[in-house]
Chain A
Amino acid sequence: MPPQINHSPSAESHAGQGSIWHHPAAGWFLAILPASVMIYLLGLTGRVAAGESLRLSLNWVPSLAVNFSFFVDGLSLLFALLITAIGALILIYASGYLAGHVLLGRFYFYLLLFMAAMLGVVLADNLITLFVFWELTSLSSYLLIGFDHQREEARKAALQALLVTGGGGLALLAGLLLLGNIGGSFELSELLQRGDLVRGHALYLPLLLLVLAGAFTKSAQVPFHFWLPNAMEAPAPVSAYLHSATMVKAGIYLLARLSPVLGGTEAWHYLVTLAGAATMLGGAMLAFPQTDLKKILAYTTVSTLGALTLLLGINTTLAAKAAMVFLIVHSLYKGALFMIAGAVDHEAGTRDLRELSGLRRFMPLTTLAATLAALSMAGLPPMLGFIGKELLYEAKLEAPRAAFWITSAGVLANVLMVAIAALVLLRPFFGRKTAMPQTPHEAPMTLWLGPVTLALLGLIIGLAPDTTAQYFIATAVSAVRAEATEVKLALWHGLNPVLALSVFTVACGLLAYFFRRFVQRAVHPLFLLARVGPQQWYEWFLQGLSGVAQWQTRLLQSGYLRSYLLMIILTTIGLTGYALVSRAALPLLPSLPVAQSYEWLIAAIMLASAVAIVRSSSRLAAVAALGVIGFSIALLFVLYGAPDLAMTQFAIETLSVIIFVLVLYKLPRFATFSRPSARLRDALVALAAGGLMTLLVLAVTAAPLRSRLTGFFAENSLPAANGRNIVNVILVDFRGLDTLGEITVLAVAAIGVYALLKLRLAEKKEK
């Protein structure tokens, strides 16, 4: 075995090794987890094939009809098997690819999290459960794509993937809520039978658009495709997994899953087919001129996802069949090719196609896997890819609408696919031996096991497709079409138009490969277009967002207490004033309330103190005058028979005067007074606030008090809570939870005050 190379050039790579996760067997050990899930799922195949669908449901938030429920039918079973089978191989691969990486343990954790989230998406029965797992895949892929967090590009790509798919996720949530409400159930297994109800509803189109926004962002359809090629900043195991079995297929899964409910309409057909076709062509054209192996593969994934979407848009049984077969085909070859790209990078030190040549001599097993995978990608017999492509053409030829255009687009995309398969395979593996940054060796077993297994599976299923067709594809198609469907697959279809198209495709593809410079020049305008395309919109959007954030932060969070107060008071005046004016009928001439002479006296004292505060040129005097107002209010409480409030008010006033004095003690003397203009502004704000409060009190007291709570508390205080003091009983019993929250908030605030003060003290000491 050759010496292991650290993939990440990070400074921490050599530190902290030797945890159990760095044991060579750790990856194998962890792979047991998905493998056993896979075996369990395989055990269900017979029952699912017999038409049973298996449900499991736990109450979660029953009052909102949210259940933690799962169900297994053909479609979810197919996806779950891909996720677990490829997941197990990826774990083994990762143990070799990232051997010695200091954060290997964390990587395993993220990967398993991702796997579990994907399984949750495809097995979920409840729409909300599905959404939670859906967002979990966004989150965990964020962690995975940004795994090399020291590199800025990795962080940026991770954020981009999160923002795009997360934003789509929010749209999806809205769509799912609409769907659940219109369909009358949040359980998919029930909704699947209510397609007509949903399609006939007035809100069908918005619902469809929202769901499609979720699916298209996740599965990188135009114009949301740009995040996927960037996501190859992730380590190779992640790319392989992301592209082959998981996240990007989640959108496809959703489209397939919901096609019995949402599909079959004009809107569905045009939206899904057009997005799919644009993505299929755009992805293939953008892939062709790339030189980075991973980037090429990433763009071809975009293209394939487009093809799958296109098929689901056509929405015939034949198209569903083609989609399911093509899904398996793509998972097998793309998983293999990405792992191979990683292994080549690992061994030869580069992924640049211009530098790679003649790897066959050094890496025979990897070359074998690459050959089989590339053949499958090009759609050549006897690989499963051939069957997939034949079905693809058949479905497109028999599409109910625009068959000619759809087929032409498909042929063009497939021609490019053939050329790209040749590009990826021929020179790097079979070209002349040249010097590469490192002299390559055959990769260790962990690195070739996955690609070889997946590539061989593509060959074996291609040669003997019957079992797969009967147990996995037929059940999946039945689920997508919501009716029992038989599926027979065969390599040889006889001489027919489809075969002619295949031959034509391969011939053109090889031509395109040999005249690749010409083709590259032909698709060049697309790159110019891409420069002002969605990627650029995304950048502009981010810049605009941070611009707005800066502007409003400068405006609202200036750091000066006085401007915060101003903002708070102005907002209150604005909102409360608006509500008051628009909702309540104000008495034009409020009658002056009748008051006792001592009440007038107290009011006069308060007014005098207020004037004193404003006119005072000493802080201490102002605080004392403020205290007078507080005590006067407490006095009013006493007079109106609220001893609890009065007592509290007295204590609070006393303590706030003490605290004020302690603070003032530390402040410098007034150096400057505020400008007259600022004082005028403050006076206006203060008058407005005071006027508003006065009006508010008048409005409230004008309406007769009707509180059903007063009676309830008065009646139940003693019998239910053993207390005669209603105020206290409310605080500690009826609304005890509120009080618990309040004292927690107070405690947190006190810790904040303490930290701020200590910080100041520490600064002073330093000086």
Chain B
Amino acid sequence: MIMPSLILSIAVRSLLPLLLLFSVFLLIRGHNEPGGGFVGGLVAAAAFALYAIAEGVEKVRQTLRVDPRVLIGAGLLVALSSGLLSLLQGQPFMTGLWYKQAVPVLGKLGTPVLFDTGVYLVVVGIILTIILTLAEE
């Protein structure tokens, strides 16, 4: 759809992993510093959108391996299950549960982090569904 550009293509190939890493970084730090699942997901989606512009939709689909629509469903499930976990503990739905010790690199872990991960996946899935479908043709 778009004229291939060598410069863009080379730049994106090195930018994509960095952007994705940054998006995960945003997701994980979100609970204490600016960031979070929503922004992280947007950044990841933007990275893939850039990749699609540079290399075409097919390449993105190959790299992703799963259909973005699956990501939407998976994200919703993850978010929902984070709420259900507290039910198993006999607490009201969506009560935050935290693992006491901090894990190296990731920091403290709890169901809100899992919930944020769900949001992240949903956002990536939604935007990629729209962009990839639009770009295909």
Q: What residues of chain A have their CB less than 8 Å away from a CB belonging to chain B?
A: 643-644, 647-648, 651-652, 654-655, 658-659, 662-663, 665-666, 721-725, 727-729, 731-733, 736-737, 739-740, 743-744, 746-747, 749-751, 753-754, 757-758, 761, 764
Contact = CB atoms under 8 A, between A and B. Distances in A.
A647 B39 contact: yes
Task: Give the size category of B's interface with A.
Answer: 35 or more
A725 B1 contact: no
Contact of B98 (A648, A722, A725, A747): A722
A655 B42 contact: yes
Nearest to B1: A665
A728 B72 contact: no
B126 A746 contact: yes
B126 A725 contact: no
For the complex of A and B, 5 pairs with smallest distance between CB atoms: A651-B42, A723-B31, A643-B34, A750-B126, A662-B134
Given A750-B130, A757-B134, A648 B118 contact: no
Given A655-B42, A659-B134, A761-B137, A728 B36 contact: yes
Contacts of B83: 736-737, 740
Contacts of B116: 728, 731-732
B75 A743 contact: yes
B94 to A, nearest CB: 5
B42 A733 contact: no
A739 B119 contact: yes
A725 B33 contact: yes
Given A655-B42, A728-B31, A746-B126, A644 B36 contact: yes
Contacts of A740: 79-80, 83, 94, 115
B24 interface: no
Q: Which of A647, A652, A721, A737 has the most CB of B within 10 A?
A: A647
B31 A658 contact: no
9 contacts: A644-B39, A651-B39, A651-B43, A665-B1, A721-B112, A723-B32, A739-B115, A747-B122, A750-B72
Contacts of A757: 130, 133-134
Contacts of B131: 655, 658-659, 662
A732 B32 CA distance: 12
Interface of B: 1, 26, 30-39, 42-43, 45-46, 49, 53, 69, 72-73, 75-76, 79-80, 83, 93-94, 96, 98, 108, 110, 112-113, 115-116, 118-119, 122-123, 125-127, 129-131, 133-137
Contacts of B38: 648, 731
B75 to A, nearest CB: 7
Nearest to A665: B1
A725 B112 CA distance: 13
Please report whether the interface of chain A is mostly helix, strand, loop or mixed according to DSSP.
helix
Given A659-B134, A739-B79, 13 more contacts: A644-B34, A648-B39, A655-B131, A722-B108, A722-B112, A731-B38, A732-B112, A736-B96, A740-B80, A743-B76, A750-B129, A751-B72, A754-B133
Contacts of A647: 26, 34-35, 39
Nearest to A724: B32
A690 B56 CA distance: 40
A739 B122 CA distance: 11
A719 to B, nearest CB: 12
B42 to A, nearest CB: 4
Contact of B32 (A666, A725, A733, A746): A725
A751 B73 CA distance: 11
Contacts of A655: 42, 45-46, 49, 127, 131
Contacts of A732: 31, 36-37, 112-113, 115-116, 119
Nearest to B32: A724
Contacts of A658: 46, 49, 53, 131
Contact of B134 (A663, A744, A764): A663
A743 B119 contact: yes
A733 B130 contact: no
B87 to A, nearest CB: 13
A722 B133 contact: no
A764 B136 CA distance: 13
A746 B69 CA distance: 12
A722 B96 contact: yes
A760 to B, nearest CB: 9
A245 to B, nearest CB: 43
Given A740-B83, A754-B69, A754-B133, A725 B31 contact: yes
A729 B72 contact: no
Contacts of A665: 1
Contacts of A747: 72-73, 75-76, 122, 125-126
Nearest to A742: B119
Contacts of A725: 30-36
Contacts of A723: 31-32, 112
Contacts of B122: 743, 746-747
Contacts of B72: 747, 750-751
Contacts of B93: 737
A733 B97 CA distance: 10
Contacts of B53: 658
B115 to A, nearest CB: 5
Given A651-B43, A747-B72, A747-B122, A753 B129 contact: yes
Contacts of A736: 83, 94, 96, 112, 115
B27 to A, nearest CB: 10
A654 B108 CA distance: 32
Nearest to B34: A643
B81 to A, nearest CB: 11
A691 B113 CA distance: 42
